[in-house]
Amino acid sequence: MNNEKKVIVLFFPSPWPSQNRGRIPYALLYLERMIRDLGLEIILIDEQVEKNYSAKILKVKDRLLLAGVSSMTGHQIVGGIKFSKLIKNISKASVVWGGWHPTLLPEETLKEPFVDFIIRGQGEMPFRELVECLLENKDYSKISGLGYKTNGKISVNKKAEFVDIKQFPRINLKLIDLNNYVFKGAYNKRCIGYFSSHGCPFNCAFCCVAEVFGRRWYNKEISEIIEDLKFLKETAKVDSITFDDDNFFVNKNFSLKLCQEIIASGLDLKWDTSAHPGLFTRVFNDNDLDLFYRAGCRQIYVGAESGDQEILDLIDKKSKVEENLRFVEILNAHNITPLFSTMLCFPINPDRDIELTIDMIRRAKLIDKKLRARLFFYTPYPGTALFDRSVEKGFSPPKKLEEWAGHTLRKFKAPWSTRDYRWEIEIFSNFYLPLANPEFYKIVPKAFKPIIFIINKIFYPVVYFRFKHNALKFPIEAILFLGSLKIFNKIFKTHFSLGYESYLD
């Protein structure tokens, strides 16, 4: 038994470079529950709210057994590397990386000198087994899902079998200050993120979820969800919930039963979540939508992906462009806001897919002026079906862990594209799309409401005419407005945009 080293530090790197607030670091809570009975001192560090954490680690460096990092591909890698190097500089403790990125690129992650272990796939059981082996000085080489180094040689074991999340201990939300994770949305004042399920049965060719969860879907017990929602409401004083599930509406009985229990419990919480457009439009009827609204549903996020049916077939979306539009019609009839997530510039015919996707959003906006949309660039990720095709089209993947930090959906520049579409998308996303809603000003921050009200009223007739007649060429008014806004942001050192964020550097 390793009696001297009984401290475990679990680290969640900040997902964004400039934001202090983010979502609850559930990855840390999922791991803590697996080892809380082993008599350890467990320290949770969330870089989103705790930037200066080195002093906390220095206090326990001599008793530190293991330090864990949970990281997705993208900016989290920056914080994960900084933390791991600190651990290695001040102690002899091992460092283990888990999460999406090590799952997709285990060998490449293990090449780094500051990484001793990786866990791929569902991490709860392999992590517990690793901690037990380190405590007992036992052999860990047979742990499923574990990657490790022996005298510089990298070994990665087969993935562990997935375990239904209902078999794990409950997470302890009391371990963190929930007020650090409350945010304001378009229809609420105090919202917080929560997972009622994980996974998705679909196998979209651009998405990593199938690789990580094996096309399985796991839900929590409804009674547990209701208890957690009550705790979140009472403790953080929230008025709404974002269900961050990969696909909330996979199981019809679960969706309906949960909504019935939300109503019966008297929670009185507004909420939003995600759906698959094809599945949703085929499975749910008007009575179901009425139930969702009465239970508090006010927005549903859907992966519409593309307005080009050839692209939807290429990515194996299992849905049609017309189902995306039908989705908007259904939600509009029940006063639930639809939110499209789309991807542009796939490695097949980017000019056509961008044109058709913008046109699909335009048509959807005419159905429901409340429609909101996010436009991302298709970004190839390892382990997905389109990754190899992207490489064939000229994509050169990063070769080292740190190089993946800048691999993001907003900034990826496709080598197969001969045009830079960012200005075109800036005009559409940050001028025409928001101002096509005559009541857009109602959802902006209070400080901006008066000026946005005026802008909204001035430009709405012009924008509506352009949308109605599909006349988006020669966007003079958009260029003048966005040019003026760019000067404003430069003078006052702000980053304001009418849409979610600017596409321009």
CATH number of 7-156: 3.40.50.2300
Rounded distance, CA 25 to CA 46, Å? Answer: 7
Q: What is the pTM of this model?
A: 0.93
Burial annotation 140-158 (CB, 10 A radius, 16+ → b, else e): beebebbbbeeeeeeebbe
Question: Residue 275 — pLDDT band, cuts 50, 70, 90?
Answer: very high
Bridge partner list, 2: none
Rounded distance, CA 15 to CA 22, Å? Answer: 8
pLDDT in tens, 421-456: 999 999 999 999 999 999 999 988 888 899 999 999
pLDDT in tens, 5-29: 999 999 999 998 876 567 899 999 9
Ranges of each domain in the chain: 7-156, 182-391, 420-505
Q: DSSP letter string over 322-340?
A: HHHHHHHHHHHHTT-EEEE
pLDDT in tens, 136-195: 999 999 999 999 999 989 999 998 888 989 999 999 999 999 999 999 877 788 999 999
pLDDT for 27 equals 96
CATH number of 182-391: 3.20.20.70
